Amino acid sequence: MIDHTGVTVSDFARSQAFYREALRPLGFEQLVELAAEVTGHTDVAGFGEPPKPEFWISRGTPNQPPVHVAFRVADRQTVDAFHRAALAAGGRDNGPPGLRLHYHPNYYGAFVLDPDGHNIEAVCHAPPAG
């Protein structure tokens, strides 16, 4: 089980703003911000459902190649809401909400590139509600 993960970003303030909005539909908030003076090397921010951050960004040279991070969500409406919020926050579409049948019959996901080109996904594995 993965406890937490993250990406390195070039413009810390811009990425903070992006992730605050893009992850809001998932129930994530920015829970922590630590300056380089505290961490000993760089500024970091942690996002998650209170009380624990699960996804972190850190200031620096972005990962190359860019990273793919997928957030599992409970329903397809949340995938749709994530995609809308991420685009409104300045993300670039990398695959609109929809089924990805090549993975499995209920793989419903959406992909957005963050300001540094990291491929951020929301995915639901459950059949449609109803």
> Cα(30)–Cα(50) distance, rounded to whole angstroms?
9
The per-residue pLDDT for range 61-90, each reduced to its tens digit, is 998 999 999 999 999 999 999 999 999 999
Amino acid in position 115: P
Residue 67 token pair: 């990273």
First to last CA, the chain: 30
What residue ranges define each of the domains in the chain, with the CATH number in brackets? 5-124 (3.10.180.10)
The per-residue pLDDT for range 2-28, each reduced to its tens digit, is 999 999 999 999 999 999 999 999 999
